[in-house]
Structures are given as structure tokens and as C-alpha cells.
Amino acid sequence: MIPYGKQYISEEDIAAVTETLKSDFLTQGPKINEFEEKFAQYIGVKYAVAVANGTAALHLSAMALNVNKNSKVITTPITFAASANCVRYCGGEIVFADIDSATALIDIEKIKELLAASPQGTYQGIIPVDLAGYPVNLEKLRALANEYGLWIIEDACHAPGGYFTDSKGIQQKCGNCVYTQLAMFSFHPVKHIACGEGGMITTNDEELYKKLISLRTHGITKDPELMHENHGGWYYEIQELGYNYRLSDINAALGVSQLKRADANLQKRKAISKKYDNAFANNTNIKLIQPAAGFSHAYHLYIIQVENRKGLYDYLKQNNIFAQVHYIPVTMLPYYKELGYNTKCYPNANAYYEKCLSIPMYASLTDEEQDFVIAKVLEFVV
Ligand SMILES: Cc1ncc(COP(=O)(O)O)c(C=O)c1O
């Protein structure tokens, strides 16, 4: 069986987790700090906050930016629903801007139209998604966001190691928060770094960082400078409503160990994508999304677009190749439909959904397995 994505766990990973299991700390111990520091260094950002999963990272990010029942936030319909759900958790309204068919990323021109159609102050923020690992042009998005005073949370779950080159020629790594308030990542097993479950929020803003640390643990503070009273060494205060969204030290130990191979694995993903690109280059019935000049794709997913997507999906499955669809437009999901979203408003997302298929892409995919996948795709799509 060849899945579309899977984790790679080395003997070193197992040893790292075992060491933590034998230690004094299973949660919020030294591995959390180490993971946060090393991840921040890898991404090139000041602060990183480890949390239970990517969805918790989105929820806390929305909370930290004060999303509430009066908030309107823009995202893409082609994403995992968590990018939109986080706004709903806080009682806010999520508004979808259609995608650009060339990249399958949120179309910045469509965002511009939405913003121009409402009075200033209608919207509070934007959650762009680096779909499949293709970095959003955050410099361009920041310029637009500045016109309307909006914050940006980059959903970089698919893109650790990806970057775009800005107008000054600087390579801006996904999640480095040079053009955003916050960014977030997931360490679900199919992602670049597997923790089992895990997530990370990154930021350069000290105030947001402190708020996130507090919200991650019930809004608890033990800092004598911040407390209203102090009854003794045991005393703490809950000063705002937070959650238990902590990552365990066990998961963090796995994350630290996986992070060591992040660059090597990214190179492997790039080699796999190049081989697919070459294999499909002459087949006009397979549409590929190639990153524009200056954009370095992180290849969480390798997505092709074909006319008979269901036929190809079924054919691959018969051959024990388990492809996947990323994504069903969020606007088509019953929960969102019932909220009143009109699926017809997102023609590019709908057209993309009809054709997209993610074929196997993961660092441990062997040459033989990839050859088999290529052969089966080309047998079906002639
Ligand atoms: C784009 C995107 N956003 C958010 C999430 C949520 O992450 P998690 O599954 O770790 O909660 C995912 C993961 O599936 C994702 O792919």
C-alpha cells in the first residue's frame, strides 16, 4: 500500500522519545523549550509557542488577536476546515475569497474586491494558507492589509522550509512573520515534521507571545509582578479564559528529533516533485502547478489536476495507491452550507476541486514506489 503521505520515524526518533519517557517530565518539561527554540531558529523568527495541534494553534492565534462575535475574517475555501473553524470558535464570521486558478492559493485580487466593497473597519484579519507548500506572497498581502488595518495569520502547516523572495530580494521563509502578526504549523504525521499530534505558533511580537503562553495554559499566571494577590508559593491566578492546549514533552522530544532531518527531508521532497514534473511534463491531460520564479515550494503535497479525477482515484486505489483530495471547498461542507454560504460564489475553487488529486509525496517514498505511481497515473491519463 502506498499512501499519499506518511511519517518517517527513525531509530534516533525512538531513542529520543524513550529518553523522555524515562525522564522526570512528561509534559511542559525541557523538551518543550528546546523544540520551541530550535523551531524558531529553523524558521528565522523570534518566538515559537508549542501547542497540542495545528487546530489549537489557530484557535489560540485567533483568541490572541481578539477575534470575537463582531469580527469578520477572510480565508480561502481551499484549505482544511480548521483555517476557518478557528474564527467560528471565537464567534466571528469567516468570509471566503476565491482562489487563483494558477496557484490554487487565495486570490489577493479577490480579497481586494471584498475589502473595497465594505466600509473601512468591516474586516479584522486575513488567514492565508500556503496550500501544498506553495508560499503565499505575504509582502503583497501585507501591503493590502495595511490599507485596511488588518492582521494576518499565516497558515503555514504545509510549508516549513518554503520561502518567497520579496521585492528587496530577501528570501522570506514561511512562518517567519516578517509580513504577518502570527503564523502556525501542524505536526500531524503526514506533515514535514511529525509529533503524533502537535502544533506551533510563531511570532516576532513579544506581547502576542506572552498572551499565547498564558492562553495555552488556562490563562494562568504565577508571575508575582502580574498577580493581584499572593497567598504563598502555591498561589496562581487565572486572569483570562484559556485552555489546556499544551504539547507533551513526549511529543516535543519527537519533534526535536524530527527537526534535525527537516532540511534533508525537504530536499528529498523536492527530488520527488522534480521526478513527477519530468514524468508528467509531456502529458497535456495532467495539469501541474509550478511555483513562480522566486517562490520555493515546500512540497507537503504533490497535486495534479485531471478531468476524470474520480476515475483516476479509483484506478490508483485498485492498485493499492491511496491518493487524496486537498481539499473539498470548505464552503461545500454541510456545517458551512447551513451557515448560508453560497457555493456558487467560488467558481475557481469549485473547478479546482473537480480535478485535484494529491499523489504520494513523502520523504521515505522509494524510487520503485514512485516509478509504480507514475506508471499507474500514465496508464490511466493518456
Ligand atoms: C492547512 C491546515 N490548517 C490547519 C490544520 C490543522 O492541523 P491539526 O490537524 O494539527 O489540528 C491542518 C492539518 O491538517 C492543515 O492542513
- Contact yes or no for 80/329 (Cβ under 8 A): no
Q: Which residues are bridge partners to 359 per DSSP?
A: 302
Q: Which three cell numbers stand for residue 106?
A: 487565495
Q: How far apart are CA 180 and CA 65, in angstroms?
A: 12
The answer, yes or no, to whether any atom of ligand 1 lies below 6 A from the CB of 247, is no
**What confidence score (pLDDT) does residue 43 get?**
98
Q: How far apart are CA 211 and CA 321, in angstroms?
A: 44
From 157, 197, 330, give the residue whose CB has the most ligand 1 atoms within 8 Å, as the site to mutate: 157
The secondary element (H helix, E strand) that includes residue 245 is none
The answer, yes or no, to whether any atom of ligand 1 lies below 6 A from the CB of 61, is no
Per-residue pLDDT of the chain (382 residues; tens, 9 = 90+): 999 999 999 999 999 999 999 999 999 999 999 999 999 999 999 999 999 999 999 999 999 999 999 999 999 999 999 999 999 999 999 999 999 999 999 999 999 999 999 999 999 999 999 999 999 999 999 999 999 999 999 999 999 999 999 999 999 999 999 999 999 999 999 999 999 999 999 999 999 999 999 999 999 999 999 999 999 999 999 999 999 999 999 999 999 999 999 999 999 999 999 999 999 999 999 999 999 999 999 999 999 999 999 999 999 999 999 999 999 999 999 999 999 998 899 999 999 999 999 999 999 999 999 999 999 999 999 9
- Asked whether the CA dihedral 375, 376, 381, 382 is positive or negative, the reply is positive
Report CA Rg, the chain: 21
Q: How far apart are CA 379 and CA 39, in angstroms?
A: 42
The secondary element (H helix, E strand) that includes residue 276 is helix 262-280
Give every CB contact of residue 46 below 8 A, 6+ residues apart in sequence.
40, 177, 203, 204, 206, 209
Cα–chain center distance at 189: 13
The answer, yes or no, to whether any atom of ligand 1 lies below 6 A from the CB of 132, is no
Give the SS3 label for residue 159.
coil
From 55, 94, 325, give the residue whose CB has the most ligand 1 atoms within 8 Å, as the site to mutate: 55
Q: Which atom of ligand 1 is nearest to the CA of 53?
A: 10
Distance 189 CA to ligand 1 centre (A): 11
**What confidence score (pLDDT) does residue 310 get?**
98
- Contact yes or no for 248/27 (Cβ under 8 A): yes
- Contact yes or no for 151/183 (Cβ under 8 A): no
Q: Which atom of ligand 1 is nearest to the CA of 131?
A: 1
Distance 230 CA to ligand 1 centre (A): 40
Q: How far apart are CA 352 and CA 100, in angstroms?
A: 10
Of all protein residues, the one whose alpha carbon is nearest to atom 8 of ligand 1 is 54
Distance 80 CA to ligand 1 centre (A): 6
The answer, yes or no, to whether any atom of ligand 1 lies below 6 A from the CB of 54, is yes
**What confidence score (pLDDT) does residue 329 get?**
98
Q: How far apart are CA 279 and CA 274, in angstroms?
A: 9
The answer, yes or no, to whether any atom of ligand 1 lies below 6 A from the CB of 134, is no
The answer, yes or no, to whether any atom of ligand 1 lies below 6 A from the CB of 155, is yes
Distance 83 CA to ligand 1 centre (A): 8
Other CB atoms within a 10 A radius of the CB of residue 220 amount to 17
Distance 284 CA to ligand 1 centre (A): 32
Distance 232 CA to ligand 1 centre (A): 41
How far apart are the two ends of the chain, measured CA to CA in Å?
A: 24
Give the SS3 label for residue 296.
strand
The answer, yes or no, to whether any atom of ligand 1 lies below 6 A from the CB of 202, is no
The answer, yes or no, to whether any atom of ligand 1 lies below 6 A from the CB of 79, is yes
Q: How far apart are CA 28 and CA 304, in angstroms?
A: 41
**What confidence score (pLDDT) does residue 119 get?**
96
- Contact yes or no for 24/380 (Cβ under 8 A): no
From 174, 186, 247, give the residue whose CB has the most ligand 1 atoms within 8 Å, as the site to mutate: 186
Distance 78 CA to ligand 1 centre (A): 12
Give every CB contact of residue 122 below 8 A, 6+ residues apart in sequence.
72, 115
Q: Which three cell numbers stand for residue 178?
A: 516578517
The answer, yes or no, to whether any atom of ligand 1 lies below 6 A from the CB of 313, is no
